[in-house]
Amino acid sequence: MKEQPILKRILLACSRGRSRLWRNNVGQFQDARGNWIRYGIANPGGSDLIGWNSVTITPDMVGRRVAIFAALEVKSKTGRIRAEQQAFVDNVKKSGGIAGVVRSVEEAKSLLT
């Protein structure tokens, strides 16, 4: 299966309950003056799906819920991650977020739980 159908299935299956995900289109275009305009979060390298995973903090933190940033880089079975994509995933994880490369709905659900 190609990347786009996998991405759509993950988006539908994993944007319920305590998780919310959105498509992060990353790219660039040239305006009428010839200037290059970049769009998308963390361009280049931003993950395909971004959002949060809501968790309940332990009782010593007053039972308050918080949202933990999540970034899912979607790849087909044979798709390869680019260096800037891996750097974004690594930085999110290093900062306490949830991030990784996923190739199926099952992998995405596993990453988010």
Tokens 């891996």 found at: 86
4 is written with which tokens?
């786009």
pLDDT score for 59 = 84
Instruction: Give the domain extent around 88.
Output: 3-112
Q: What is the tens place of the pLDDT at every residue in 29-66? A: 999 999 999 999 999 899 999 999 998 888 887 878 88
pLDDT for 76: 96
Q: How many domains does the chain have?
A: 1
73 forms beta bridges with 101
Quote the pTM value. Answer: 0.83
**Bridge partners of 23?**
49
Find out whether 108 and 14 touch, Cβ atoms under 8 Å. yes
Over range 6-26, report the average pLDDT: 94
What CATH number is associated with residue 43? 3.40.1350
pLDDT at res. 37: 95
